[in-house]
Structure 1
Amino acid sequence: MKKEQPYNTFPAFLKKYFPFKVQKISLNAGFTCPNRDGTKGHGGCTYCNNQTFNPAYCKTEKSVETQLNEGKVFFSYKYPEMKYLAYFQAYTNTYDELDGLKKKYEEALQTKDVVGLVIGTRPDCMPDSLLDYLEELNKKTFLLVEYGIESTHDETLKRINRGHTFAETVDAIYRTKQRGILTGGHVILGLPGEDKNQILSQAIEISKLPLDTIKLHQLQIIKGTKMAKEYAEHPEDFHMFNVDDYMNLVIDYIQLLNPEITVERFLSQSPKELIITPDWGLKNYEFTDRVFKKMKEIGAYQGKLFNN
């Protein structure tokens, strides 16, 4: 790890693959989820309200191409030469028949200035037949598959109604990485029932996986979710970090993390009108600047406490 860079950043990761600036554009391609449609359950994950990550241009009645072109308007004014990654983000973006998935992925790749795909999904929604296709697609374009891990503790996964185990997560990540596909993960820090020691033990488990990228997000209680009702009824079950405590937790987590993994982000930015708590009033880059400065001040860096 370079001294001036206390952790592996996502822009540096992208520079390995692109000689130009690239920006992810979020899409809502009209997918659902197996624990919403009754296959595994109803109601979805207890913390989930998909409005929290749907920009205004993400409307399911719009085609993938239209959403991408409208998304580009947000970014092209600043960097006219910008290229884009189509980010299939909302719900479970591998949860469909193979032909339907191919059509949407390839529509995205045929859109002007789109140079790759990022596909967000669940670990229990990655059949080998889809991996066969993605393995071939990966030979032609940039591809990153991002799994919602959320927690490494099965008790927590059950409590938040994920509908899968951590063993299924491990299996999906290994099967994807074995195909030569870039593989990412997403975790939520501060889920109910998990104390600081359990959260930090997660970093040790995550470090054993062949992940290329990881996103860390603080738990937010969002209006319209089952977790919001739980929080109202039993706030004692939740430890809501203040911004300084969360920053210190993130730094401890990163120091335990495998130094080969890229840390994409630390913070979730939900629409202010949907947040019950915590509302720190910080942009992602502002929090990142604080983490960077604090790590430099105390001599912390990614992998400092990593035990291979």
Structure 2
Amino acid sequence: MTQESAPHFFDESDGQKLRIHTISTYLKQTFGKKMVKLSLDGGFTCPNRDGTKAFGGCAFCSASGSGDMASGSGDILADLDRQIQLLSDKWPDAGYIAYFQSHTNTYAPTGELRAKFMSALQHPAVCGIAIATRPDCLPPEVVDLLDELNQKTFLWVELGLQTIHPETSAAMNLCYTVSDYDDAVRRLQERGIRVVSHLILGLPGETEEMMFKSLHHVCDTKPFGLKLHMFNLVRGSQMETTHPDYVSFESIDDYIDLVIRMIEQIPPEIVLHRISGDAVRPTLIAPEWSYKKRTILNGIHKKLAEKNTWQGKAL
């Protein structure tokens, strides 16, 4: 085999030959053990739900603000305990990342944010924190708080860009722009804070060329991590009414083909946090197969091997 055709493996431990740079591999190499995210609903809302910018939220969001599997009893430590108890038999030696997932987790007074984030970090099994937010909800005092957290613990901040195209952004009621995203990334990276960027593939009206342009823009901002997932039509979203018959990808194979071509163009240093996007079955409308997360991931890994390709190969 020539050097040019020799595959690049990001993780060869445990008999694996991973051709992508996954968050599981990164965390295992960083912490020396299996790390698990615990999804939390911190009780926040969004500026396009409460009327500050709009009502109804993003058109694709469920009522839970994309946190259908997050715990949100109001007692963060109890929610963490409950999830750890459920997972401890499967991963008895794991460490945990407290993941504030639902809605916009920097959209509250700084004192409230501090109290909730610090509460999660008080749990003895929690080794770090991940905070999902919008790029337009990072005022200077919140960035200062994130900087403080970043100096105390392992932190990443997730920014839901979804698309760089203004016509799609307007149709999806996102109420922020690619300029908001670029500015947020710059200000976070200036503080040394890890950024994870979200893109949704298959948004209504978007061509493959448009999706690749969004991907290239995000990669050019050099985020720590990237999340790719197909558009899911879910119950409780605005689009259940406005686009009841919309299907983003006709088949698993169509989705896998697109993702593999994208993976080839993602720089190898970017950590892939997600390359699929499952919705809980009771809320999922379409694609009807998208809940089959393991099938999709196995198909991607199999196809990468068959094509003898890997993350960043096209670069």
Residue number in structure 2 paired with 1:19: 32
Residue number in structure 2 paired with 1:218: 230
SS at match of 1:123: coil
Residue number in structure 2 paired with 1:87: 99
Shift of 1:102: 0.3
Q: Which runs of 5+ in 2 are unaligned?
A: 1-6, 10-16
Q: Find out whether 1:53 has 2:59 as its counterpart.
A: no
Residue number in structure 2 paired with 1:132: 144
Residue number in structure 2 paired with 1:38: 51
Pair 1:83–1:50, CA change in 2 (3 A): farther
Question: Do the aligned partners of 2:230 and 2:255 also contact (CA within 8 Å) in 1?
Answer: yes
Pick from 18, 23, 47 the counterpart of residue 5 of structure 1.
18
Paired residue type of 2:296:
F
1:46-92 CA distances to partner (integer Å, 9 max, x unpaired)?
Answer: 0000445333x723x43111111111122111122222110000000
Distance 1:47 1:281 in 2: 15
Shift of 1:170: 1.1
Pair 1:227–1:152, CA change in 2 (3 A): same
Residue number in structure 2 paired with 1:164: 176
Residue number in structure 1 paired with 2:196: 184
Residue number in structure 2 paired with 1:77: 89
Pair 1:36–1:67, CA change in 2 (3 A): same
SS at match of 2:159: strand
1:259-289 CA distances to partner (integer Å, 9 max, x unpaired)?
Answer: 2211111122211121111111653233212
Distance 2:48 2:287 in 1: 26
Paired residue type of 2:150:
N
Pick from 300, 305, 308 the counterpart of residue 314 of structure 2.
305
1:80-125 CA distances to partner (integer Å, 9 max, x unpaired)?
Answer: 2222110000000000111110000000000120111000000000
Paired residue type of 2:48:
N
Q: Share of identical aligned residues, percent?
A: 36
TM-score w.r.t. the length of structure 2 is 0.91
Distance 2:250 2:273 in 1: 21
Distance 1:196 1:209 in 2: 21
Residue number in structure 1 paired with 2:3: none
Pair 1:118–1:50, CA change in 2 (3 A): farther
Pair 1:86–1:44, CA change in 2 (3 A): same
Distance 2:169 2:49 in 1: 15
Residue number in structure 1 paired with 2:129: 117
Aligned length: 301
Pair 1:285–1:178, CA change in 2 (3 A): farther
Question: Do the aligned partners of 1:123 and 1:172 also contact (CA within 8 Å) in 2?
Answer: yes
Shift of 1:240: 3.1
Question: Do the aligned partners of 2:265 and 2:313 also contact (CA within 8 Å) in 1?
Answer: yes
Paired residue type of 1:53:
G
Paired residue type of 2:298:
D
Question: Do the aligned partners of 2:28 and 2:35 also contact (CA within 8 Å) in 1?
Answer: no
Pick from 252, 270, 279 the counterpart of residue 279 of structure 2.
270
182-191 or 13-22, larger mean C-alpha shift: 13-22
Distance 1:90 1:281 in 2: 20
Residue number in structure 2 paired with 1:151: 163
Paired residue type of 2:177:
T
Question: Do the aligned partners of 1:123 and 1:147 also contact (CA within 8 Å) in 2?
Answer: yes
Shift of 1:305: 2.2
**RMSD between aligned residues:** 1.7
TM-score w.r.t. the length of structure 1 is 0.93
Q: Find out whether 1:106 has 2:118 as its counterpart.
A: yes
Q: Which runs of 5+ in 1 are unaligned?
A: none
